[in-house]
Structure 1
C-alpha cells in the first residue's frame, strides 16, 4: 500500500445518478499514487475505472473520455475552460462528475 503522505490527494464527487456506479458513494477523498508524469483528468479516468467504478463502466466512460451527458467540474469550474482531459490535477483539487442522463 502506498504511503498516505506520498501521492496526490484530491476529492472526487459524483452526482445526478453517477454515484450509483460507485456503490452510491457521492464523495470520497483519494490519494493517487506517485508517477513520473503529472496526473491529468485523462489518467484519472483510467484510475477511476480500475479502482473505483463498480458497475457498468459504459455509463461513465466512453473510450478515454467521460460519456457524453456527464458534466465535469474542477473546483467548481467547467473543465471545458481548463483543458478538459489535459488538465493537470493539483493537490487538493475537487473533481465533480454530474450525470445529466436520466433513464425513464
Structure 2
C-alpha cells in the first residue's frame, strides 16, 4: 500500500530533515496505530520522545489524514487507504 507521510513544523527534524516520505507498506490492514509503530521503527532517527508519548503522538503534534483532523476519523483506529496522505505538524516550538 502506498501512502505519503509528511512531517512539518519542526517534526521533520526527527526524520533526518526530510519532510516528505512516500512509503510502500506491506500488504494487509494498516491502522494509524500500526503506522505509528512502523514510523518509530523505520523513520525516527533521533529523540523519539519528542514525537511519541506511550503508544501515540505527543500532545502538540497535529495529525491530519487527507487534510482532515485524525480525531474526526477515529485517531489510531483509522484504517489507512491506498494513497492516503498523513501529515504530522509540530505545534510546539522552543523559545
TM-score of Structure 1 vs Structure 2, range by shorter chain = over 0.9
**Alignment root-mean-square deviation, CA:** 0.7
2:21 maps to which residue?
28
1:70 maps to which residue?
61
Structure 2: give runs of 5+ residues left out of the alignment: none
TM-score by length of 1: 0.89
2:73 maps to which residue?
82
Q: Number of aligned residue pairs: give it.
A: 95
> Which residues of 2 match residues 45-60 of structure 1 at below 5 A?
45-60=36-51
TM-score by length of 2: 0.97
Residue-by-residue CA offset, 1:43-85 (whole Å, 9 max, x unaligned): 0000000001000000001111001000000000000100000
| Higher Cα radius of gyration | 1
Q: State which of 65, 83, 96 in structure 1 corresponds to 2:87.
A: 96
1:15 maps to which residue?
8
Give, in angstroms, the shift of residue 11 of structure 1: 0.1
Name segments (4+ residues, structure 1) moved above 4 Å.
Answer: none
SS in 1 for 2:4: strand
